[in-house]
Amino acid sequence: MPPMIQITHLRKEYKDLVAVQDLTLELEKGDIFGFIGPNGAGKTTTIKMLATLLMPTAGSATVDGIDVVKYPEKVRSVVGYMPDFFGVYDDIKVWEYLDFFAAAYRIQKAKRPQIIDDVLALTDLTIKKDAYVESLSRGMKQRLCLAKTLVHDPKVMLLDEPASGLDPRARIEIRELLKELQSMGKTIIVSSHILPEMEEFCNKIGIIERGEMIVAGDVNTIARQVRGQHTIEIGVVDELERAEAILLGMSDIIREVKRTSGLRKLTDAAELGIAQTLQKNGHSSSGGIVQIGYVGEPDEEYRVLQALVQANIKIRMFHTPSADLEDVFLRVTKGHVN
């Protein structure tokens, strides 16, 4: 089966400016690809080339096996595109707006009402079906644009900064919607500056700077590549010092060991409560959480856990936190723009 999106040595030039150069990428069905980069890095240019709205200077790109340069009309039938800046027709109602785009995507008239109801339900705009578009808030217009993007049930969605300029609540709504689309098996390319949100639903990321894709691939793999290690958090009920000593002794696979400080989140507070209870019952009070920088093979992480268990350390948590994209982004990019 061909990749859902395949980009090969893509290049875009504007006179003296090289907006995108030698960009190569492959995405499978169901991938959610976070496209990260500073302003002017080439994210929008790349998305527009995939959306058949810009002609590449060189290289090739296919969507669902269809060449974006040779068959732009066919590509549009399988792609949903939401630009970073967009307007809406103010003088029509919400359902009319969606009906217009459904007709423009050649959806039969008889099927349109059901499709409109479905996308309105998905984007939580059913209540606004008969409202004029101009009366919607910015967040609602953003969701309406997403609804419009979905009317022809595209396999691939290209979302350029879908949450830009929105308040936190509207951003959360968009994020939840993207998760819903992810569960529907859509292949999504989403560019955003709000990196912590991307961590939650992107399984792959690409970092682009000055038109060049610096890194691309699985989020955790990239984090590991960039940092040269990946983080594992270990919570121990007591004997934290002894646990640290054991971990420090595994220098072949552990680069650094550090304690986390403060209550990082609510669950830690709950865990602290557990530790206090254990203390009352005669256990040591020196429990806590320790972070290690693991540099060994991914499938040998068990060795760390095994070593601790064999030393009778009481472990209450052993997990890999999601990669910190901001950290990765700052490490990889240099802040250069075209």
Interface residues with other proteins (CB under 8 A) are 14, 48, 51-55, 72-73, 76-77, 81, 83, 85-89, 91-92, 96, 100-101, 103-106, 145, 148, 152
> Do the beta carbons of residue 226 and residue 206 sit within 8 Å?
no
Q: How far is the CB of 135 from other proteins (least distance, A)?
A: 11
- When the beta carbons of 112 and 171 are compared against other proteins, the nearer one is 112
Pull the structure tokens for residue 69: 């340069």
Q: How far is the CB of 184 from other proteins (least distance, A)?
A: 21
Q: How far is the CB of 91 from other proteins (least distance, A)?
A: 6
Compute the distance between CA of residue 151 and CA of residue 198 in angstroms, rounded to an integer: 24
Q: Which residue has the tokens 């007591």?
A: 238
Q: How far is the CB of 99 from other proteins (least distance, A)?
A: 8
- Output the CA–CA distances (angstroms, integers) from residue 177 to 26, 142, 186, in the order listed: 24, 11, 12
Q: How far is the CB of 262 from other proteins (least distance, A)?
A: 45
- When the beta carbons of 144 and 202 are compared against other proteins, the nearer one is 144
Q: How far is the CB of 169 from other proteins (least distance, A)?
A: 24
Phi, psi (degrees; rounded to nearest 5) at 74: -65, -40
Sign of CA dihedral 184, 186, 192, 197: positive
Compute the distance between CA of residue 284 and CA of residue 270 in angstroms, rounded to an integer: 18
Return the DSSP state at 92: S
Name the residue type at position 316: R
Q: How far is the CB of 126 from other proteins (least distance, A)?
A: 21
- When the beta carbons of 90 and 200 are compared against other proteins, the nearer one is 90
- When the beta carbons of 87 and 262 are compared against other proteins, the nearer one is 87
Return the DSSP state at 132: B
> Do the beta carbons of residue 50 and residue 8 sit within 8 Å?
no
> Do the beta carbons of residue 31 and residue 218 sit within 8 Å?
no
- When the beta carbons of 54 and 308 are compared against other proteins, the nearer one is 54
- When the beta carbons of 81 and 294 are compared against other proteins, the nearer one is 81
Q: How far is the CB of 32 from other proteins (least distance, A)?
A: 21
Q: Which residue has the tokens 């009402």?
A: 113
- When the beta carbons of 17 and 274 are compared against other proteins, the nearer one is 17
- When the beta carbons of 84 and 124 are compared against other proteins, the nearer one is 84
Pull the structure tokens for residue 337: 């723009």
Q: How far is the CB of 55 from other proteins (least distance, A)?
A: 8
**Distance between the two ends of the chain, CA-based, in angstroms?**
36
Compute the distance between CA of residue 20 and CA of residue 163 in angstroms, rounded to an integer: 23
- When the beta carbons of 104 and 317 are compared against other proteins, the nearer one is 104
Neighbours of 16 (CB within 10 A): 5
User: What residues have CB less than 8 Å from 97, skipping those under 6 apart?
Assistant: 88, 89, 133, 144, 148
Compute the distance between CA of residue 336 and CA of residue 62 in angstroms, rounded to an integer: 29
